[in-house]
Amino acid sequence: MNPATGKVITAVAAGSSKDVDVAVDVAKKAYKTSWGLKVPGTVRGKLLYKLAELLERDIDEFAALERKVYANAKAGDIRMSIEVFRYYAGWADKVQGKTIETNEDKLAYTRHEPYGVVGQIIPWNFPLMMLSWKFGPALATGNTIVLKPSEITPLTALRFADLVNEAGFPPGVVNIVNGYGSTVGQAIADHPLIEKVAFTGSTLVGRKILKASSESNLKVVTLELGGKSPTIIFDDADLEQAIKWAAYGIFTNMGQACTAGSRIFVQEGLYDKFLAKFTEIAKNLVAATGDPFVVGTQHGPQVSQIQFDRVMSYIESGRQDGATVHTGGTRHGEEGYFIQPTIFTNVKPEMKIMQEEIFGPVGVVGKFKTEEGEPSYCVSTL
């Protein structure tokens, strides 16, 4: 779906557990015959450098496929993804063990080896950046990959597969299987031949992946999950810098980030000045909300109808619990999934908007008196 209009862009085939089986078999064969310890780090590094060059060549296309504010995606998401591949390209020939001194009768050493086939499951909020974070280290160290992109944002990963082929990676090293978490994601988490799973997403699903690992082959699991990060601003803070970074922390990417600073605690001596200028930034973003491809747009739509509804339900929850909608709190325009940057005040720690991750452009601003009274207020989340 195009989140700016709510209209269909295209249809993508959904995979199944059988497709995961095929992908794992191909990846296993590639690992044993044409990748892994069969290919030196210098070669892996050259291929990753080539991948970065191709991505830089096609930066405009990939920025468009991200389905967010085009200028931000090009300067941020895609540019940083290019740098990630270059970074890991430089590491590929520096994976080293150690020789350990013991005595003249024996030789003791350590050797770093790839896991083999690794599963990767990425979210929709930073499609290409998340892919680069998963692909870069896995390929640099000689692993083969079975990756599931989000069913909401599969286009970036599918187009990226073309670059993998063009760069010259052997067949089977990288495998991308579209589908839903309950089918393809579950199959990756359960598969006995996948040695490691890297997952970025919700805490709920992270628990399911850990459970699947414990009930299958005890595969290694790396999890990057949700958060409810506090931003804490004291009276002696640089006001302009505090406002700048607090606004960036909650409104960037339309608040769709696990590190979003959605709870902002301001000491009472600075609170009024902070709130006034913070509100001004939010209102300016409303004026700069619109078509992601138009020059000057700074604030785009939420990624989907489901996410739009979820964020709006949290805004309604805040109202029902007695918080004040200081600004925003409504849909922007008549089509697409746009939500005005929103600020809540007069909040209490037990409110749902203070406790749970909203994943939208909703900042909750609270006030505190002293440093001694602040910490428990900031960490009391579910």
The answer on pLDDT for 377 being more than 60 is no
19, 20, 43, 146, 227 from 16: Cα distances, Å: 5, 7, 33, 13, 30
* Geometric angle at alpha carbon 148, from 144 and 151, rounded to 5°: 165
What mean pLDDT comes out for the span 230-246?
96
**Average pLDDT of the residues in 56-81:** 96
Residue that is written with structure tokens 């000057």 in the block: 296
Selection from 264, 274, 278, 268 nearest residue 228 by Cα: 264
Taking residues 310-318, report their average pLDDT.
97
Model-level pTM?
0.94
Average pLDDT over residues 122-149: 98
Does 252 or 227 have the greater pLDDT score? Answer: 252
pLDDT at 57: 98
Q: State the pLDDT at residue 372.
A: 76
Catalytic residue numbers, as ranges:
224, 258
Confidence (pLDDT) at 381: 55
b vs e for 200-236, b when ≥16 Cβ sit within 10 Å of the residue's Cβ? bbbeebbebbeebbeeeeebebeebebebbbbbbeee
Average pLDDT over residues 315-329: 97
Q: What is the pLDDT of residues 284-306, one digit of tens each?
A: 999 999 999 999 999 999 999 99
Q: According to the model, what pLDDT value does residue 227 have? A: 87
pLDDT number for residue 373: 64
Q: What is the mean pLDDT of residues 141-168?
A: 97
Q: Above 50 in pLDDT, residue 382? A: no
Bridge partner residues of 344 (DSSP): 325, 364
Q: How far, in Å, are 27, 103, 158, 170 from residue 175 at the CA level?
A: 7, 46, 10, 11
